[in-house]
Amino acid sequence: MNPSHSSSDPAVPCTAVTLLPPPEFLVRLAGRGGRRPEAGYLLCELAAGHDEDHAMVLWEDDARHLAVWARWSGDRATLAELSWCGVTDPRGEDACGLFAEHTAAHDWAVVDATLAAVDAVLAREHPHLAPRDGV
């Protein structure tokens, strides 16, 4: 992997969203009269400007150190079991929450301006709950 972002430069999140309909085999398994599986929205977790398919983690398999990811481009979507990125944030002990071999910035470098603003308000209004360095 070779992310093009330095860890000191915040990256903007990708804003791609798509609707993932349930696969036909799930619809058939639900049967007639059963509850039909619902479509769900996918929101890309990569940094804006990435050169690969969009990606969102659907569920984790901690025992096998991987996750099932939805990958999409246009109206084509696939599911894939992918190992976790093994890179650790140099500022702490948190590992990147993306898949191995991703080409965009690591997840700790992707800063959502709305969430950052909410975090700032909460830290100001409830300083006793705000994270502190070293804790």
Which H helix or E strand runs over 116?
Answer: helix 113-125
Q: What is the DSSP string of 120-132?
A: HHHHHH-GGGS--
pLDDT per residue as tens digits for the range 73-90: 988 899 999 999 989 999
Q: What global pTM score does this model have?
A: 0.75
Other Cβ atoms less than 10 A from the Cβ of 49: the count is: 12
Helix, strand, coil shares of the chain, percent, nearest 5, are 20, 30, 50
pLDDT per residue as tens digits for the range 90-133: 988 889 999 999 999 999 999 888 888 888 898 888 888 776 54
Tell me the C-alpha distance between 1 and 131, whole Å: 30
CB 71 within 8 A of CB 46: no
- Residue 28 per-residue DSSP state: H
DSSP 3-state of 63: helix
CB 94 within 8 A of CB 111: no
Q: Tell me what percent of the residues of the chain surpass a pLDDT of 70.
A: 90
Average pLDDT score, the chain: 86
Structure tokens at 119: 């975090």
Confidence of residue 71 (pLDDT cuts 50, 70, 90): very high
Cα→Cα distances 17→2, 13, 23, 81, 100, Å: 25, 12, 18, 20, 22
